[in-house]
Amino acid sequence: MSATPLAGRLVVDLSRLLPGPLTTRLLADLGARVLKVEEPELGDPVRSAPPRRAGTGSLAALLLAGVESVALDLKERSGCAVLEALLDHADVLVETFRPGTLERFGFSAERLRTRWPRLVVCSLSGWGADGPYAARAGHDLTYQALAGSLASTGSMPAAPLADLVGAWSAATAILAALLERERTGRGTHIDAALFDAGVHANLTAWAADAGPRPHPVGEPLPLTGAFPCYDLYKTAEGDLLALAALEPHFWRRFCTAAGRKDLIGKQYSRSRRAHEKVAALIRRRTRAEWQDLLAREDIPAEMILTPAEARAHPQTRARGVVTDGPDALPRLAFPARFDGERPRAAARVPAHGEHTLALLKEFGLHGYEVARGVGRRFSWKRLLARLTRRL
């Protein structure tokens, strides 16, 4: 099997920020050609997300490398006309507007289905196309809050889980729709919601909540610190150790190797006293001492690493998922291999609107002024003048 199974597929990307661009980034990693449509004046905000190096933002390096940037103003008829021409050749359209916005641009679900019947359309929104929250503003933190995934710790999440899982679920749905099109010849309109992804990702909580009583906010679940055998502890230097001796044979091996067989019966205890005993045990040894003992006994426990330490770790280096681009900013390769071959991480981040004129020529479009303002420095004065003209 080729490491570029989507070669020959064309994706038009109307998204911005994190979930949509990650969705199309995954498709690009698999070989699809991605045309990223950006607003002419400002472009995708990820371009300006710090830290920046040589004019490139680190988030943009991770999300936009390898795509082609097209500057179109969809509020103008010329921009919509160019989008129509792109869709004439596209296999997939990805958009992240609030429900109803694409229709206001003249691309209703019915028109998309009628004019481009083979097109796979993925509408990735925060709350989904229906429900009382459909038009409500939101971000990853609010999706996770309402999905219940923050309740077991009552603290800020370590990663934007709804955004990330939402992107992966959207990419999975697109792949399934393309496969279905091979059978039926028809495209599909996918309604993907980040909130739905957050709910789905909370599956261990749904299992735990089926117990005799509901879990209040701040009460840990089995996999979020409820058990002494599966929690975070400080070593003698104060470094954090992630202990994951969830199975009885691992816990028994840990307690025996640490010289505390008396703790074997406390593996699934929910008492604070049991946690405190394990915490005191971990504090007695240094980071290096624990690493040596745990590796020797093959116990699932690892030190918590910083991102820099994680990138330098031998396992990370061996797997080759994180690499450096020509701008010395990180790139992420697709996290799976095909017959031993991993799809290559794209290197170059396109300039804002860089491919607009070339694509107009490629698709035989002439006389459209869609690149106005691209490549100029951002100007609040120019933006205010533009808004004033529209008012």
List active site positions: 163
- Return the ∠ at Cα 204 (arms to 201 and 206), rounded to 5°: 90
Helix or strand run (H / E) with residue 36: strand 33-38
Q: Give the chain's radius of gyration (CA, Å).
A: 25
How deeply is 183 buried, as exposed, middle or buried, from its count of CB atoms within 10 A (0-12, 13-18, 19+)? exposed
18 vs 251, 275, 319, CA distance in Å?
39, 38, 24
Cβ neighbours for 281, distance < 8 A, ≥ 6 positions apart: 258, 260, 263
DSSP H helices in the chain = 19-29, 58-64, 77-87, 101-104, 109-115, 140-147, 161-184, 194-201, 203-209, 248-257, 272-282, 287-296, 307-312, 314-319, 356-362, 380-390
Give the torsion sign (CA, 177, 183, 187, 190).
negative
Tokens 């699934």, residue? Answer: 268
d(CA 78, CA 334): 36
d(CA 16, CA 101): 14
d(CA 294, CA 297): 5
Angle between helices 161-184 and 194-201 (to 10 degrees): 110
d(CA 120, CA 142): 28
Tokens 């679920």, residue? Answer: 169
d(CA 206, CA 246): 19
Cβ neighbours for 194, distance < 8 A, ≥ 6 positions apart: 19, 124, 125, 126, 127, 138, 140, 143, 162, 163, 166
